[in-house]
Structure 1
Amino acid sequence: FCVVVQVLFCLKMGNMESDDKFGFVVMDGNGALFTTLSGSTRELLHKLSYDHPKKLGSGLQAARMSYLVHMEMLDSYLSKIGALATQYYINPLTGQPNVTGLILAGSSDVQVQLMKLGLFDHRLVAKLVNVVEVSYGVENGFNQAIEQLSDILANGKYTRERYLMDMYFGEVRKRPGKYVFGVDGTMNVLESKPGAVKTLIVWDNLDINRYVMKNSLTGETVIKYLNKEQEGNTENYKDLDVEEKMPLLEWLANENRRFGCAPELVTNKSWESYQFCKGFEGIGAILDNRIALGDGEDT
């Protein structure tokens, strides 16, 4: 293995000004790059190259030997990545991570092997922002990873998002927890229990519209929240005339004074926020401790 120590370099990245420092490990089958990004300043810490084993002749026996040598060298390469990550992203004085978050980027095969073999320090696993697959290695892969995650890395947004997700999933883990999730559950509490919601969390790309409809037979006003798929189902409009249609995210922003809380927007780019958007419908709320849900209401 050849470890090349590089010098500090800086590069302007538009509006990415933040005090948060993120660590990046970019890796593929040819080498690994260890860097940090703080605002618009990048620091290249180490570059590790992987020397592929030479072919050991021809024939079945030689192929087996080549495979064994390759696996031994790969294990050593992955162990070196894990050790260098600990060396550069753990403060030796405090024993704690020295970065706000950590991003693994590169070949998915290498990433899977690294995590599967348990070669990554558990203190750094807790700091993982995301694991992204990029088409390139080393410097070009670093640029691609930044581009993919630019909206969450900019202006300290990750710190706020991590704080919100920690609070929300902290309530989810409690029994009972003071939280609601999903469109129906969240909107029911907002509409029926003013002041009950302490923190309203919404995916910034929530693709749901709020409909105000009137039943053509009874004259009753009906409120529905429909995603794209549901909008294509004619059963959702049976005997109903649409009087108003508005993106739910926009409606929540307009009505924040009535509910006493403005929506806190999150991306789906971190592990926690991706789980929130995928498994919790991208909308949920932390409830005020002084407000209790009635019997039979799900949280």
Structure 2
Amino acid sequence: MEKRHNYVRKTAELATQFYINPATNVAGLILAGSADFKTELSQSDMFDPRLQAKILNVVDVSYGGENGFNQPIEPVIRYTFQCEVYTREADINRYSLKNNSTGEIVIKHLNKEQESNVNNFRDSNGSAELEVQDKISFLERFANEYRKFGCSLEFVTNKSQEGSQFCRGFGGIGGILRYQLDMRTLDGEVYDDSE
């Protein structure tokens, strides 16, 4: 029991040393392991309360070594909304622009370079200036609006091999169809399975 207590104490001290540090800027912790030490640590008075407040989950793992390390973090990498999002299209803002002479509302999605071009804030003839009615980050709009369309939203980080491949391959934005698509009926033509 004394060895268990010393182990929990040492782990709590090291966690404080490593994670209560402005340079690390830890947003959340996942305590994982196959034994009960993770639960003891999370409930211990020796564990810094600043870190206890950052515990996202306590996870039992089935494996040791690298597989055991990866088991609790794979779902977090795939599904967390706390992750850093890297996409070429993420740095886009959605503008609602009003043409004061016609009253028409124009929606434009502009990246930083396009925002610096004043022609993007003029009508198609270039004669009238468009007034900004609303500006919102493209990703923030997704995060606010996706439920209205019956979708689920997942952010993928480029910190994993799969996430990096996704960001490079799809430009960081992708979708999964909700219903099965019958490929044989595309474009009104019927294809048989041998084609």
TM-score by length of 2: 0.48
Q: Which has a greater percent of strand? A: 1
TM-score by length of 1: 0.34
